[in-house]
Structure 1
């Protein structure tokens, strides 16, 4: 994963200090590309432990067209908790302690952090126990899963993933194997506008490759997940269509390191990468029916994890 470490180093050496939506502040570059040969191993970051279970369960959640955090909470996956929680605490129905700017406040004030964790726990338990509450405050709007599997059109919904699979089988040389999550008509209704906005598949010599365009990339926390998620997607689609895997090409618009992640990035850069693991996917299931138990990473031996706050 030298490609990822080179990106981190490039941002620290050449980035511009910028403000951002979260108020945290970033060091940012615009326009960067990484290439990963998936024949050389599965690109799961080794310079810090990266939770593959969370990556896989989130991707399967997207592929099923789901947009409600209830499914992820049931799977013990907290990736989207903050965005569902934010929708609830900003609603008229919420009458608990002040949760404004909870992301930054919980990092700076331990007393508030305890209250925040208590309120988050209450929220998650209610999501699991109250169906009406989950429907109202667990749904994140028309985010990735909705756009991938049920893009709204005047003629009815469009299943972009099924169309992608059908097209790759029928006409592999097409230049139209594209899936877009960026729907301008619905961006304002999403809990978070899509960061990984558009991807394109390409077949050559019996190998399937994918290029992702990511408009906004949280390089320390998000990008390792994005790399592994789309590499897994290539493997899944290749298996579904009968191809070998080729490359994953990751094209980034605004690639940034948050100001409160700089020391963590430097620690990671001091570590030597280890050999990449391999991926094993059980046979006999459609990608739409797979569970996390059907997907295994073997030979993963990373350095210890490095904690950092998420910017909401």
Structure 2
């Protein structure tokens, strides 16, 4: 008997997901929202955003699987009330995001960003290589993705601190929690990496005050959400010398407009939202597990708490 999963995304290929799901569960069919003829038969949705017109026609919907590690692309108030929603956390996403964070850390730690600029200027300026002990890294957000990032950097020999809403113990990572401990966290690191979920409390958290609490000449890396960063404050902090450089993968507007001020600073590296990616081939098993849990009335993996927004 064929079973149907509603698919809705303008960023992901339904064919790739259909193949990955079929390889594990042939009777489970991915159907793009445009091809749904009997919405009342759909019990589970896999989506980046709801189809035009919303999910109202899907009267028997029982579970929703986001195609992202977060759900801030969704207006939770517009989703059907009481329907469980899950984030998609997968090994392919974790691996690619950790790789991005490590590469960015080493780029600033070993001053490759400065040498890139000096190469274009045909300048030869020797500097003694830095020591990891003198380059502590702070990770904002120590959930699945941030925790893996912090653990990897600690394993590579960097002093690592982690800050989150509630305290989380990670081997080799100094833990900070809550707004009261944020100044101490920021004052203890040379580079801050943002992997926070986007909530009303974390929006704009990378701002002028945050930058002022970092040691002068620190670095900023954002692979959380664009709304975490007050972009004008970062440009001002770089112009003032408070922040030495930044690596940014997410932005308030995407694609980033060609005339945006972030493009005008050689100290800022802009990447087009490529820090992490979810591969259908590895993530299909999680989607199927949550499909089965939905039909069995069990809690979803990586379920979203609507009150917290993640």
Q: What TM-score range do you get, normalising by the shorter chain?
A: under 0.3
Which one has more relative contact order, counting CA pairs under 8 Å at least 6 apart?
Answer: 1
Q: TM-score, normalised by structure 1?
A: 0.27
CA radius of gyration, larger in? 2
Query: Greater share of helix residues, 1 or 2?
Result: 1
